[in-house]
Amino acid sequence: MTQPQSRSDESIADLVRDMSTQTSRLVRDELRLAQAELTQKGKRAGIGVGELGGAGLLALYGLGALFAAIIAALALVMDTWLAALIVAVVLFAIAAVLAVAGKKQVQKAVPPVPEHTVENVKADIAEVKEARSHEH
């Protein structure tokens, strides 16, 4: 025959149940808070990215105006078409140098495999296999 639970056993059971309920509620509340915080940060990041994009666009227009000023200055001593051609050739030469440098950097990054990590994993597997072969 089972004995009835004592009041202290019931209290402990109630405490454990309450603790479980409160822990679940606390975790849900913390997750909601984290979600709200991340949403706010995401909005701020989006606004920041938009502002950076606007700044980049205006800088590009400023660069175009600077090139126009260079062409206009050169046009004082030569025909305008020749000044524009000289500026265009210089810009294309700089672009070519940057393209070659960029291509070299991309080739160094490809394939996008963490080679050192792969080698470390292979070494770890070999070590485990060797340890297992010594066990047998």
Amino acid at 39: T
Mean pLDDT of 39-51: 91
In a domain, 128, yes or no: no
Q: Is residue 126 part of a domain?
A: no
Its domain, for residue 39, covers 9-109
Task: Judge whether 124 lies within some domain.
Answer: no
> Confidence band (pLDDT; 50, 70, 90) for 109?
confident
Cis status, amide bond into 112, omega within 30 of 0: no
Backbone angles phi, psi at 77, to 5 degrees: -115, -5
Task: Work out the end-to-end distance of the chain between its first and last CA atoms, rounded to an integer number of angstroms.
Answer: 54
Judge if pTM exceeds 0.85.
Answer: no
pLDDT band at 6 (very low <50, low <70, confident <90, very high): low
Total domain count for the chain?
Answer: 1
User: Would residue 136 count as lying in a domain?
Assistant: no
Q: How far apart are CA 58 and CA 51, in angstroms?
A: 11
> Is 118 contained in some domain?
no
